[in-house]
Chains A and B, each alone.
Chain A
């Protein structure tokens, strides 16, 4: 397994946010985490990226412990994170935003090649490369956040609610992008409230309820699971 969480627990003060999570991400494909608001999905990604400290458990990436490392060291290992709410740098230009994603890379030629690739993947970003990022629409900002993460040439991509607040057409486009990224060889951990979309994209799925793992299994099976259908798919 590329990424392995064992018994991961996180607390905000005395409030437990995650309790004993076991989760595994293989070296290819899409793993999704679904669940209600406050179920601990975002906290789980933040724990992997080192933005919050574990109170128990361990996280291994490529066999080595990464829990306890600073966020920038975890990026250096090859984990990129598209945060909830996009979190692009509003006063930097589109191109500058993308280049921050490559901050740790020294291979200039490869960075230039990846930048061209991101612009090819997201032509809208190419058109607006000199514009300040805050002038972009919501969908374009999400593309920018994804492009920025790809500029790190990651070995694993974490995505937190990439479809939040976007129009249905854009949501579909994001879905295609996520699929293309995984098909291109970068495994994706996708956190989503849009369970229908997430289960249609993912190979494997985890269901979080109030900070604990409620269910897990192949996405196709969970899609047909009665509890999942009633609680998350609204059918």
Chain B
């Protein structure tokens, strides 16, 4: 039983890792751009398809495909900023609707380029870390956990310790006041979009061999990501990470001991409970809500 619990805990840690990469990107984009990016799940999907194209079909090394995926999806983020969000800057609803349109374009592009069938991706590594007899962690899952820990720590240091990170936080709190300090709105928007999109791309690329890769795969993560950022407090990066862990552990344990549908319901109940007790989310403040 102890081993079974430990194994489920490891599975939850893996889920928490990729979900926090996705949710933190979503929060960063919302904070700086004031836009709910509905296409975020499709950025994750685009990262997975980079691995399909470069690793499964193109025979490139897996991690090189992941890196290329991060850059490619980051560039997609820059494209969204320039083509959609900048012209609609004073129109938050317009940005949201445009992101829904972009979501459909990305899905159609994936379907046209690769077909609608699930993609077959060989495992990135066959190695398994054996912690105990029945507690095992496939190496590709360990990579996801390590990548999330490293990237989120790096992002945290960037935001807290660097001048431009400060500017980004100031911009997220009050974009106009930040502009009055000489902080370029265009530049902070570009950086936030690139980082936020690239994090989703990395999550998609790293998990591609372990999930079913198809043009609609974004749906499966975007709902979870929305629940996480609402539970964490919209606008709070720390909240998003904490909520990703809470959600992933609850969801994984319920799915393991009951079933996946009940786990989805419990996830939504978790969000409801937090909203009733703390309407601004765990780490949210009134200003940001």
- Chain A residues near B (Cβ < 8 Å): 49, 51, 70-72, 75-76, 80-81, 83, 87-92, 96, 99-101, 103-104, 134, 148, 152
Contacts and interface: CB of A to CB of B under 8 A. Distances in A.
A101 B285 contact: no
B127 interface: no
Interface residues of B, number: 20
B176 A96 contact: no
A184 to B, nearest CB: 21
B3 interface: no
Contacts of B259: none
A141 B287 CA distance: 16
Contacts of A148: 181
Interface of B is mostly: helix
Contacts of B176: 51, 71, 83, 87
B179 to A, nearest CB: 4
Given A51-B180, A87-B180, 18 more contacts: A70-B184, A70-B185, A71-B180, A72-B179, A72-B182, A72-B184, A72-B185, A75-B180, A75-B182, A89-B169, A90-B285, A90-B287, A91-B173, A92-B170, A92-B173, A100-B167, A103-B166, A103-B167
B177 interface: yes
Given A91-B169, A91-B285, A92-B169, A103 B182 contact: yes
Contacts of B178: 89, 100
Given A72-B182, A103-B183, A92 B166 contact: yes
Contacts, number: 70
B117 interface: no
Contact of A103 (B173, B181, B185, B285): B181
Contacts of A90: 173, 285, 287
Contacts of A75: 179-182
B162 to A, nearest CB: 12
B185 A100 contact: no
Given A72-B185, A89-B170, A103 B180 contact: no
A35 to B, nearest CB: 22
A134 B288 CA distance: 13
Interface in B29-49: none
22 contacts: A51-B180, A70-B185, A71-B176, A72-B184, A72-B185, A76-B182, A80-B180, A83-B177, A87-B174, A89-B173, A89-B174, A89-B178, A90-B287, A91-B285, A100-B166, A100-B170, A100-B178, A100-B183, A103-B181, A103-B182, A134-B285, A152-B182
Interface of B: 163, 166-167, 169-170, 173-174, 176-186, 285, 287
A204 B249 CA distance: 66
A62 to B, nearest CB: 17
A80 B177 CA distance: 11
Contacts of B180: 49, 51, 71, 75, 80-81, 83, 87
B40 to A, nearest CB: 23
A100 B171 CA distance: 10
Residue from A96, A99, A100, A104 having most chain B Cβ neighbours under 10 A: A100
Residue from A49, A80, A91 having most chain B Cβ neighbours under 10 A: A91
3 smallest beta-carbon distances between A and B, as pairs = A75-B182, A87-B177, A104-B182
B163 A103 contact: yes
A192 B220 CA distance: 54
Given A87-B174, A89-B177, A99 B166 contact: yes
Contacts of A101: 181
A81 B176 CA distance: 11
A70 B166 contact: no
A89 B174 CA distance: 7
A100 B176 CA distance: 13
B187 to A, nearest CB: 8
